Chains A and B, each alone.
Chain A
Amino acid sequence: MGTGYYKCLVQFTFIVLIFSSNISQATVWQETDTWNSSWEQKYSDWIRNSFDEGIYTSGSFKDLPTDCADAVYYARIIFSYENKLPFVIKDATGGPNFISNIMIRFDDIQEPLQRVRKFMDFVGDVTSTKSLPNDTYPVAVNRSNIRPGTVWSRPRISSDNIWRRIFGGTVKEDPGHAEIVKEVAETGAIYLIGSTVPKAIRKLNTTSSLVFMPVETSTGFRNWMQPTYYSKSSENLPGYSLEQFKELGHTANDNRSLDSWSSEVQARLALRDETKPEFITRQVMSICSLVSARVDTVTKSEVRRAKLSGACMNADDYDSYSTPSRDKRITTTLKQLISTAGGFGLTSAQRAKVLRPYLNNACADIQISADQTISLYDFSILMLKNKVSSNPNDSFAARWGLEDSTSNCPKYE
Chain B
Amino acid sequence: MNRNKKAFLILFIGGVAIWAALHFQFEKKINTAIAPNISPLISQSPKADRIDKSAPSLQPIVLNSNISLTSFKPYLRKIGECLQIKNSLYDDNELNFATLQASLRDELGELIANNLDWRNVHISLPNGEKRRLRLEIEGTGEEASGLRLRYYGVDKENLPIPLPLSQEQSMNPSNAFIASLESEGRITLQEEAHRGAYSKGAEIYYVERNGILSELELTYKGKSIKCQELNSHKGTCSCL
Partners in one complex: yes
**Chain A interface (Cβ within 8 Å of chain B)?**
1, 6, 9, 12-13, 16-17, 19-20, 23-24, 26, 31, 34, 67-68, 86, 88, 90-100, 102-105, 122, 125-126, 128-130, 156-157, 159, 162-163, 165-166, 172-176, 196-198, 215-218, 227-228, 230-232, 242, 245-246, 254-256, 315-316, 318-326, 412-413
Q: Contact check, A196 vs B142: say whether CB atoms are below 8 A apart.
A: yes
A-B contact pairs, 8 of them (CB 8 A): A20-B23, A68-B139, A94-B120, A94-B134, A165-B115, A196-B142, A197-B138, A216-B205
Determine whether B74 belongs to the interface, using a CB cutoff of 8 Å to chain A. Answer: no
Determine whether B179 belongs to the interface, using a CB cutoff of 8 Å to chain A. Answer: no
Q: Contact check, B160 vs A1: say whether CB atoms are below 8 A apart.
A: no
Expressed in whole angstroms, the Cα–Cα distance for A412 and B30 within the complex equals 50
Whole-angstrom distance between the Cβ of B148 and the nearest chain A Cβ: 9
Select A174's contact among B38, B145, B191, B193, beta carbons within 8 Å: B145
Whole-angstrom distance between the Cβ of A22 and the nearest chain B Cβ: 10
Decide: A245 near B224, CB < 8 A? Known: A26-B27, A125-B162, A231-B56: yes
Determine whether B60 belongs to the interface, using a CB cutoff of 8 Å to chain A. Answer: yes
Q: Contact check, A228 vs B50: say whether CB atoms are below 8 A apart.
A: yes
Whole-angstrom distance between the Cβ of B219 and the nearest chain A Cβ: 7
Determine whether B91 belongs to the interface, using a CB cutoff of 8 Å to chain A. Answer: no
Whole-angstrom distance between the Cβ of A211 and the nearest chain B Cβ: 12
Q: Contact check, B56 vs A230: say whether CB atoms are below 8 A apart.
A: yes
Whole-angstrom distance between the Cβ of B71 and the nearest chain A Cβ: 22
Q: Contact check, A157 vs B60: say whether CB atoms are below 8 A apart.
A: no
Determine whether B176 belongs to the interface, using a CB cutoff of 8 Å to chain A. Answer: no
- Bitwise interface map of B from 16 to 60 toward A, beta carbon under 8 Å scored 1, else 0: 110110011011001001000011110011110111111111111
Decide: A105 near B224, CB < 8 A? Known: A93-B120, A96-B59, A216-B217: no
Expressed in whole angstroms, the Cα–Cα distance for A34 and B122 within the complex equals 33
Whole-angstrom distance between the Cβ of B197 and the nearest chain A Cβ: 5
What chain B residues lie within 8 Å of A122 (beta carbons)? 162
Q: Contact check, A215 vs B159: say whether CB atoms are below 8 A apart.
A: no
Q: Contact check, A105 vs B159: say whether CB atoms are below 8 A apart.
A: yes
What chain B residues lie within 8 Å of A174 (beta carbons)? 143, 145
Question: Chain B: how many interface residues by the 8 Å CB criterion?
Answer: 80
Most chain A beta-carbon neighbours within 10 Å: one of B59, B117, B159, B195: B159
Expressed in whole angstroms, the Cα–Cα distance for A125 and B160 within the complex equals 10
Most chain A beta-carbon neighbours within 10 Å: one of B189, B219, B240: B240
Q: Contact check, A319 vs B51: say whether CB atoms are below 8 A apart.
A: no
Decide: A173 near B137, CB < 8 A? Known: A88-B50, A97-B44: yes
Q: Contact check, A130 vs B118: say whether CB atoms are below 8 A apart.
A: yes
Q: Contact check, A215 vs B219: say whether CB atoms are below 8 A apart.
A: yes
Decide: A231 near B143, CB < 8 A? Known: A96-B58, A125-B150: no
Expressed in whole angstroms, the Cα–Cα distance for A162 and B194 within the complex equals 12
Q: Contact check, A172 vs B58: say whether CB atoms are below 8 A apart.
A: no
Expressed in whole angstroms, the Cα–Cα distance for A368 and B139 within the complex equals 26
Nearest A residue to B205, CB-CB: A216
Q: Contact check, A97 vs B238: say whether CB atoms are below 8 A apart.
A: no
Expressed in whole angstroms, the Cα–Cα distance for A34 and B55 within the complex equals 18
Q: Contact check, B143 vs A98: say whether CB atoms are below 8 A apart.
A: no
Q: Contact check, B136 vs A128: say whether CB atoms are below 8 A apart.
A: yes
Whole-angstrom distance between the Cβ of A233 and the nearest chain B Cβ: 8
Determine whether B126 belongs to the interface, using a CB cutoff of 8 Å to chain A. Answer: no
Within 8 A of A (CB), among B125-175: 132, 134, 136-145, 150, 152, 154-162
Whole-angstrom distance between the Cβ of A231 and the nearest chain B Cβ: 3
Decide: A198 near B139, CB < 8 A? Known: A98-B41, A162-B113, A166-B197: yes
Q: Contact check, A13 vs B12: say whether CB atoms are below 8 A apart.
A: yes
Q: Contact check, B141 vs A88: say whether CB atoms are below 8 A apart.
A: no
What chain A residues lie within 8 Å of B162 (beta carbons)? 122, 125-126
Determine whether B86 belongs to the interface, using a CB cutoff of 8 Å to chain A. Answer: no
Q: Contact check, A197 vs B140: say whether CB atoms are below 8 A apart.
A: yes
Nearest B residue to A34, CB-CB: B49
Whole-angstrom distance between the Cβ of A241 and the nearest chain B Cβ: 11
Expressed in whole angstroms, the Cα–Cα distance for A217 and B49 within the complex equals 28
Expressed in whole angstroms, the Cα–Cα distance for A24 and B122 within the complex equals 32
Decide: A230 near B55, CB < 8 A? Known: A17-B16, A93-B152, A217-B217: yes
Q: Contact check, A96 vs B159: say whether CB atoms are below 8 A apart.
A: no
Determine whether B67 belongs to the interface, using a CB cutoff of 8 Å to chain A. Answer: no
Decide: A97 near B140, CB < 8 A? Known: A34-B49, A130-B118: no
6 A-B pairs with least C-beta separation? A175-B139, A319-B144, A231-B52, A319-B141, A94-B120, A197-B139
What chain B residues lie within 8 Å of A86 (beta carbons)? 50
Q: Contact check, A105 vs B155: say whether CB atoms are below 8 A apart.
A: yes
Decide: A227 near B16, CB < 8 A? Known: A97-B41, A242-B240: no
Decide: A197 near B142, CB < 8 A? Known: A13-B13, A157-B195, A162-B195: yes
Expressed in whole angstroms, the Cα–Cα distance for A26 and B217 within the complex equals 41
Q: Contact check, B137 vs A228: say whether CB atoms are below 8 A apart.
A: no
What chain B residues lie within 8 Å of A16 (beta carbons)? 16-17, 20
Q: Contact check, A242 vs B140: say whether CB atoms are below 8 A apart.
A: no
Nearest A residue to B196, CB-CB: A162
What chain A residues lie within 8 Å of B154 (beta carbons)? 95
Determine whether B233 belongs to the interface, using a CB cutoff of 8 Å to chain A. Answer: no
Most chain B beta-carbon neighbours within 10 Å: one of A19, A94, A122: A94
Expressed in whole angstroms, the Cα–Cα distance for A100 and B44 within the complex equals 11
Q: Contact check, A162 vs B40: say whether CB atoms are below 8 A apart.
A: no
What chain B residues lie within 8 Å of A315 (beta carbons)? 144
What chain A residues lie within 8 Å of B132 (beta carbons)? 93-95
- Bitwise interface map of B from 193 to 204 toward A, beta carbon under 8 Å scored 1, else 0: 101110000010
Q: Contact check, A172 vs B144: say whether CB atoms are below 8 A apart.
A: yes
- Bitwise interface map of B from 203 to 236 toward A, beta carbon under 8 Å scored 1, else 0: 1010000000000010100101010000000000
Select A231's contact among B54, B118, B155, beta carbons within 8 Å: B54
Select B45's contact among A92, A102, A104, beta carbons within 8 Å: A102
